[in-house]
Structure formats: structure tokens, C-alpha cells
Amino acid sequence: MNRQTLDDLKQQIPLMGYLQAHDWHPARPLSGGRWMGLCPLHEDHQPSFLVDTNKDLFYCYDLYQRGIRSRALLDHMRIGYAPGGCLRGWLTQFGYSLPTLRQAGLVTGVGYDAYVRRIVFPLEDNLYGRSLSPSAPPHRFLPGSKGGLYAWKQVQSYPKVILVEGLFDYAVLWEAGFHNVTCSLGTHLNAHQFRQLCDGPRTVYLTFDADGNGSGQQAAQCLSRRLRERGTTARLVSLPDGHDPNSFFVQGGDARQFQSLLEAAQP
């Protein structure tokens, strides 16, 4: 299922109708066709979930704690939410057969929604869902390749590119003004992603997690060697111990401090 198909599906399913089908009810109206209500993404006692019916967008403040803090970022990344339990019903109403939904990876073999209680991020050739439930696997993709580097068309012309592991890492950097950032969705790049990094003269700043076990930095060093072998300049960005880019910003880091880390990056 490609990006255009996902966009077409979104246009066919009004956000408010989708939420109400999942028993969400607005608490109070705001101006401009917007509504506030209790957030379905977390235990909520004061309305913190905003729905814009004109733009078919929502905003949750538990997202705020992960560094997603502006409407511009939500629009840019086209972030959504999949509560589960009703997508199959919606799509079959629009004429999609159950075998088609199974083949696309939106429905499991036994007929349940595959994306349940997940923040969803449309990718170029896939759909990523990050679970909000500790009992479920944290990451979910549609069947097939995860595709190329995230938002690569928007960053490939930059002479310096920041590469991060995860989409929440991408989000905080983009929010902080680093629009030359891309994401590999993990430390292991596929062949297509590696070719993208090497498709022109540039410096790649590898900004992987500073894991306690060192796995992120080991992966960055390995990738750095591979890039240099292909004639691409690579720099290793050293984050404080135990941090990834997301936690660095969420716990008080700012753009000036991160810029200092970029300037101190070593080959």
C-alpha cells in the first residue's frame, strides 16, 4: 500500500466520525471547527485532546511529552492515531474486501485490526505504528520493505545531513529547526537507504542512540566505515550517555547545545 493509497483512505474516513465510532465524545467546542475532549491515547481526567474537523487533524499533549509540540510538525509528519477495533468495518464499507485488507497488512489473519493503540506515521512506501501499550510489540510496519530514508526528497539537496534512528528523534530535531534531518527507522540500513546517503557529495552526521550497551554507537561506527569506503564523509555525533536525540531535547536540551554536538562530531 503506497503513500497515495493511504492518503486516499484518509480522505474517505472523516476523523470525527472515526473517533465517535470508537466511543470518543467531545467535551466542548472551540473556534474554527475544533473540539476538545478526553484523550483516548492515555488516562485523561482533563480534556487534552484537540480535534480539528476542518483539517482532519488531532493533537494530544502525551505527544507533547515526546517532543511533538506544534501543529506544523503534525502537518509535516502527517501523524495519526489507530485505536483499533473499527478500521476493518470502515474499510469494508468502502468496498475493500477482507482478503485485500489482509494482504495489505491492515487486518490480521483472524480478521482483527493490525494497528491497535498506535501512533501512526505514513512513510513513503509503508506505514509505521508505534505502540502505546507496554504489552504489545513497540514497532509495526506493513508487509514488505520499510522503504527509503524518511523525508529524503526534502533533505537530499543539503550538503550536511543528520541521520537518526527513530521518528520521535526526527520529530524533535525538525521541531528545533534542523530540517536537514532524516531517519532510517533503526540502526541497520537497507540497500536502498544506503544508496540514498551515497547519491551525492555530502557529510552525514550519524546521531544514533547512546545506549548503555553501546549498540547504537557500534552500529554508527560500522555505518561510518561503509560510508567512507563509498567516498561519503561521515561524522559520529556523541550524545550524553543513555540519551537519544528525543530524550536529549525532551529533558531540556536545546538547538544551540545540539549544534555544539554536531560541531564536535568526529570521523
Sheet bearing 203-207, strands edge to edge: 181-183, 160-164, 203-207, 233-236
pLDDT (tens, 9 = 90+) of the chain, 267 residues, equals 555 665 666 666 677 777 777 677 777 777 777 777 777 766 666 676 777 777 776 666 576 667 777 778 888 999 888 888 888 988 898 899 999 999 999 999 898 999 998 889 999 889 999 987 778 888 999 998 889 999 999 999 999 999 999 999 999 999 999 999 999 999 999 999 999 999 999 999 999 988 777 888 999 999 999 999 999 999 999 999 889 999 999 889 999 999 999 999 998
Dihedral Cα 84, 89, 92, 93, nearest 10 deg? -130
Beta bridge partners of 49: 37, 60
Q: Find the CATH number of the domain harbouring 18.
A: 3.90.980
Degrees to nearest 5, angle at CA 69 with 183 and 169: 20
- Residue 146 is assigned to a structural domain of this protein: no
Range of the domain at 252: 152-263
CA distance to 10, 35, 78, 194, per residue, from 2 (Å): 13, 31, 15, 21
Are residues 106 and 182 located together in one domain of the fold?
no
Closest CA to 224 of 215, 212, 233: 233
Q: Which of 115, 140, 165 is the last residue of a domain?
A: 140
Q: Domain count for the chain, please give it.
A: 2
Co-location of 89 and 173 in the same domain: no
